[in-house]
Amino acid sequence: MQMTFRWYGPEDRISLEEIRQVPYIDGVVTAVYDLPVGEAWSEAAIERVQRPALEAGLTCEVIESVPVHEEIKLGSEKRDALIDNYCTTVRRLGKAGFKVICYNFMPVFDWLRSDLRHKRADGSTCLAFDEQTVLNLDPAKTSLSLPGWDESYTHAELLGLLERYREVDEEKLWDNLIYFLQRVIPVCEEAGVKMAIHPDDPPWGIFGLPRIITGREALDRLCRAVDSPCNGITLCLGSLGSNPANDLTSMAAEFARRDRIPFVHARNVKITGKNCFEETGHLSREGSLDMRAILTALYENGFDGYIRPDHGRNIWGEDGRPGYGLYDRALGAAYLSGLWEVIAR
């Protein structure tokens, strides 16, 4: 297991020195943020984010994310050229020593929350999702965008995209995902890189857009569709865990045993109602997920991939990027690593 920390590149307010001082951290997870989605990443652009991390004594082997262009998700005639670009990026990342690419296949929006500064009893703030608040938003009328998304759209682009997705139901989206993977996975096999799909967050349909990576059956279907160890998943505990029907301990065991979990996002959520949740600190006792049971399932089934503490609360007066401040993620890293140390002893 390698404990990593997400770093938003040289523009991140959190420095590599600070990250290096977090107990147990081995490396960073990062991306090239200054190229338009769809363009192949140049070797120079990759080196610009990787070199500072290596020089700071951290490993840099996981990319989060190489975003998938909407034309690929829509399955339009523009997709082949964009998939070629994606494959070029995969080859270059492999050559540079990257081992895992986290990506998602959520139409239009990445993760979504109704509140980025939900006040908790202890005075900290966290991210929260209240379904009614979200349903009251009209994406066609509001300019939706969240810090941490790989892409946001102008109002006109958003309207156009939502219109085009009317033609794409869940089965069509599956076809488009499999079409993409059938072309990308063979390149990954040659390049020594594993693809790790991020589940939909939250794991249910939103604004009438299809969402397909929502639970065990979907992950099983994905793994079978292109049967290769390079076709894996990012086991995001908080995303999948916001649906209580998802049994994370058994999913961790099953997919680790099948060698399909190259990357884990570890965070806890407290389910507060139907399709409503708030993100808590990482500790088992704070949320609905049993971290010790999940990490034990990973360990006992041979997990040897990368893990990172996912979203933290904003604590101690820090005004960090929502979910991605330094302090609470650092506490999460220490907690998760401590658990792991005991489990692995």
Q: Active-site positions?
A: 198, 236, 265, 310-311, 324
Least Cβ distance, residue 200 to ligand DNO (angstroms): 9
Residues 218-247 within binding reach of ligand DNO (CB under 6 A): none
Region near ligand DNO per CB under 6 A, out of 41-49, 74-82, 98-106, 241-249 = 98-106
Count of Cβ atoms closer than 10 Å to residue 159 Cβ = 14
Using rule CB under 6 A, residue 65 touches ligand DNO: yes
323 binds ligand DNO (CB under 6 A): yes
Q: Helix 79-95 and helix 170-191: axis angle, to 10°?
A: 30
Query: Scanning residues 293 to 322, which ones bind ligand DNO (CB under 6 A)?
Result: 311
Which part of the chain contacts ligand DNO (CB under 6 A), choosing from 97-105, 249-257, 288-296, 327-335? 97-105
Min dist. Cβ of residue 214 to ligand DNO (A):
14
* Amino acid identity at 112: L
Q: Which residues pair with 196 in a beta bridge?
A: 102, 232
Q: Which one, 270 or 308, has the nearer CB to ligand DNO?
A: 308
Residue number, 213 or 296, with CB nearest to ligand DNO: 213
**Binding-site member from 102, 230, 264, 298 for ligand DNO (CB under 6 A):** 102
103 forms part of the interface with ligand DNO (CB under 6 A): yes
Smallest distance from the beta carbon of 278 to ligand DNO, in angstroms? 15
- 194 near ligand DNO, judged by CB under 6 A: no
Residue type, 245: A
Closest approach of ligand DNO to the CB of residue 29, in Å = 9
Among 61, 64, 130, 328, binds ligand DNO (CB under 6 A): 64
Of 30, 50, 89, 104, the one binding ligand DNO (CB under 6 A) is 104
**Looking at 9, 10, 97, 148, which residue binds ligand DNO (CB under 6 A)?**
148
Tell me the three-class secondary structure of the chain, residue by residue: CEEEEECCHHHCCCCHHHHHCCCCCCEEEECCCCCCCCCCCCHHHHHHHHHHHHHCCCEEEEEECCCCCHHHHHCCCCHHHHHHHHHHHHHHHHHCCCCEEEEECCCCCCCCCCEEEEECCCCCEEEEEEHHHHHCCCCCCCCCCCCCCCCCCCHHHHHHHHHHHHHCCHHHHHHHHHHHHHHHHHHHHHHCCEEEEECCCCCCCECCECCCCCCHHHHHHHHHHCCCCCEEEEEEHHHHHCCCCCCHHHHHHHHHHCCCCCEEEECCEEEEECCEEEECCCCHHHCCCCHHHHHHHHHHCCCCCEEEECCCCECCCCCCCCCCCCHHHHHHHHHHHHHHHHHHC
Quote the least distance from Cβ 311 to ligand DNO, whole Å. 6
Q: Does 110 bind ligand DNO (CB under 6 A)?
A: yes
Would you count residue 200 as binding ligand DNO (CB under 6 A)?
A: no
Closer by beta carbon to ligand DNO, 296 or else 324:
324
* Residues at the interface with ligand DNO (CB under 6 A): 64-65, 102-104, 110-111, 148, 198, 265, 311, 323
